[in-house]
Structure 1
Amino acid sequence: MSEHRRREEEAMGGGNEAYGKKAFKRSRSHFRDRITADGRDGWPVEAGRYRLVVSRACPWASRAVISRRLLGLEGALSMAIADPVQDDRSWRFTLDPDGRDPVLGIRFLSEAYDRREAGHPGGVSVPAVVDVPSGKLVTNDYQQITLDLATEWTALHRPGAPELYPPKLRDEIDTVMADVYEDVNNGVYRAGFATGQEEYEAACAGVFRRLELLVPRLERQRYLVGDTITEADIRLFTTLVRFDAVYHGHFKCNRWKLTESPVLWAYARDLFQTPGFGDTVDFDHIKRHYYQVHTGINPTRIVPLGPDLSGWLTAHHREELRGRPFGDGTPPGPVPAGEEVPVPGRP
């Protein structure tokens, strides 16, 4: 494996990942400028100025894809979708004609990184927001991007957009998200990339301990915090939707499958069937990325045929817990042309 590919595996998804002798550690994003309503970092919110670069394979990028759709920002913030299978030059735009992003005019996301800072540390990660006029990366701060979409881009939200980070619930949302991040979102990676038995067992145990702690909460309420969808649900969903497809087998998080946990499986299906969630999920991209890019874990690059994905559209009965998915708002409209993804079990 080349040094560049090793760095890319370590930077897969949001943030950067680093390995010690046996333990896995994700470092903070290097480019942490914010796009705000008042432009205090030099990047004001402006319709059409920025391009969100994502991979549908990446759980960290998928947070931004879901938030953008729920908030109705498709017309204000364009989106580039990278090939789920990287090569030694990083995330690439080989899904586009001539292998070049039609808006940014570049073949590799690394070009936007290099325009911002030549010789920057770490790998090239998604999600990333690029300034279209200059072609420079603005931010790859996966933790902050979605919070800013919810709170700084409000002037460009669609009518009826939900409040994903309501002020009165932020303390509770932050607490829930911190626990989910440490043990679940990042925990599956610490298990999957562990190179020692002890480290693997500790990480894997932490994943399932946290999931089991979430069950009583989700038995009595439809969503993680309050009675509407919030940022906390988005962040948990992007791990749960990948669980049986890749984390159970590829990352050895196999104490049980999501489909074997009645409460979590129903919760995940409820969100999947909510406009803005399942209609952004591409299982083909997810499976091909994990199994073909992580050659240190899967050297044969064979992509498994399973699991059966048709159950995602089965009845979940979570509406019996009441709750209002969009609060006082409304569901997003149809998926924009060119952004559709195949939905399992649906013709």
Structure 2
Amino acid sequence: MAGGGEFKRDQNYITTRITADGRDGFPVEPGRYRLIIARACPWANRAAIVRRLLGLEGVLSMGIAGPLHDERSWSFDLDPGGKDPVLGIERLQEAFFKRDPDYPRGITVPALVDIPTGQVVTNDFARITLDLGSEWAAHHRDGAPDLYPEKLRDEIEDVAGKVFTDLNNGVYKCGFATSQEAYDKAYRQLWDRLDWLEERLTTRRYLVGDSITEADVRLFPTLVRFDAVYHGHFKCNRHKLTEMPALWAYTRDLFQTPGFGDTIDFEQIKTHYYGVHRTVNPTGIVPQGPDPSGWLTPHGRDELGGRPFGDGTAPGPPPAGERVPPLV
């Protein structure tokens, strides 16, 4: 927490990279690494989406932590016996401590773990998705989209940078503010950015260019959680997402696109935010709503043109063990 009641995110991550040439000591190898996510976490959601879109399921396994954690770390309470079936650990913390017994920072997802040694290689969420798109290219599925085309990179980074500061992280700055002044500032920045996005997406189907890019991957996890948790739990309540026509249609468009909605489990999302953040929600009561059925209604965004996967194709269905519950 920064001065004046402002929330300040610790952005010091383990920056070791898994690369095609193995220059950091960790070369790309099918079956060697395990991506650890939690369905609840928006930062981990990005990695799950990119892995799906690029078709890396067969070469990069994925472990899923449960939605609740304590001060120690995320735990694998969804798995039989409460242990990750590949790593054999109960808590993600164990993999961080194998890397550094004195690891001093938060235990975060997503994390890439080296299976032979059991140690975390990196939890640098922003770099992970970019490296999956570039360093792992030899293992992409046929028809995998280019999520970070060179000619659009400057614009992607500009747009995504604004979105991160004011929205991805902005909802947390609202929710975890401890002074009225800090909350009011974050709230204004958040809604200025949402209004900017609403205007931008009124006339274009995707954030940058005419296909899905890294910019959309970074925006979607925040928007899809907005009404379920950020609107009420984090006091981001000027409007609901469903009351912003372009953003609601845009997010439904992505939700109905293979690789996006099939990574979302609203019950785990709500269980995490309302159950873990006891300073914000002391009772730990998890709300029943909102009704999720609207996510499957027609969005009409096809009229704006664009091709979701560019010159590529849609990914196939997720592996059986990774499927999320259907909306009811």
Fold shared, TM-score > 0.5 on shorter chain: yes
Q: What's 2:143 paired with?
A: 160
* TM superposition shift of 1:216: 2.1
Q: What's 2:219 paired with?
A: 236
Query: Which amino acid in 2 is paired with 1:253?
Result: C
Gaps of 5+ in 1: 1-17
Is residue 190 from structure 1 mapped to residue 173 from structure 2 by the alignment? yes
Matches within 5 A, 1:275-286: 275-286=258-269
Query: Which amino acid in 2 is paired with 1:263?
Result: A
| Helix, strand or coil at the partner of 2:112 | strand
Does the 8 A contact of 1:29 with 1:142 survive in 2?
no
How many residue pairs match? The answer is 328
Q: What's 1:109 paired with?
A: 92
Calculate the TM-score normalised by the size of structure 1. Answer: 0.93
Query: Which amino acid in 2 is paired with 1:32?
Result: T
Is residue 84 from structure 1 mapped to residue 79 from structure 2 by the alignment? no
Aligned equivalent of 1:173, options 134, 156, 168: 156
Aligned equivalent of 2:117, options 103, 110, 134: 134
Q: What's 1:254 paired with?
A: 237
Calculate the TM-score normalised by the size of structure 2. Answer: 0.98
Q: 1:255-304, CA deviations, whole angstroms, 9 ceiling, x for partnerless residues?
A: 00000000000000000000000011000100000000000100100001
Q: 1:52 to 1:298 in 2, by over 3 A?
A: same
| Helix, strand or coil at the partner of 2:229 | helix
Instruction: Find the aligned partners of 2:30 and 2:120 in 1 and give their Cα distance.
Output: 17
* TM superposition shift of 1:19: 4.6
Q: What's 1:208 paired with?
A: 191
* TM superposition shift of 1:122: 1.2
Q: 1:77-127, CA deviations, whole angstroms, 9 ceiling, x for partnerless residues?
A: 100000101134310011111111110011110000000001112110000
Query: Which amino acid in 2 is paired with 1:64?
Result: A
Instruction: Find the aligned partners of 1:26 and 1:87 in 2 and give their Cα distance.
Output: 18
Is residue 336 from structure 1 mapped to residue 319 from structure 2 by the alignment? yes
* TM superposition shift of 1:41: 1.1
* TM superposition shift of 1:20: 4.0
Instruction: Find the aligned partners of 1:304 and 1:19 in 2 and give their Cα distance.
Output: 30
Instruction: Find the aligned partners of 1:93 and 1:313 in 2 and give their Cα distance.
Output: 30
Instruction: Find the aligned partners of 1:329 and 1:78 in 2 and give their Cα distance.
Output: 23
Instruction: Find the aligned partners of 2:305 and 2:205 in 1 and give their Cα distance.
Output: 7
* TM superposition shift of 1:343: 2.8
Aligned equivalent of 2:281, options 279, 289, 298: 298
Q: What's 1:120 paired with?
A: 103
Is residue 33 from structure 1 mapped to residue 16 from structure 2 by the alignment? yes
Is residue 93 from structure 1 mapped to residue 76 from structure 2 by the alignment? yes
Q: What's 1:323 paired with?
A: 306
Gaps of 5+ in 2: none
Aligned equivalent of 2:39, options 56, 72, 86: 56
Does the 8 A contact of 2:4 with 2:182 survive in 1?
no
Alpha-carbon RMSD: 0.9
Q: What's 2:49 paired with?
A: 66
Q: Percent identity?
A: 66
Query: Which amino acid in 2 is paired with 1:280?
Result: T
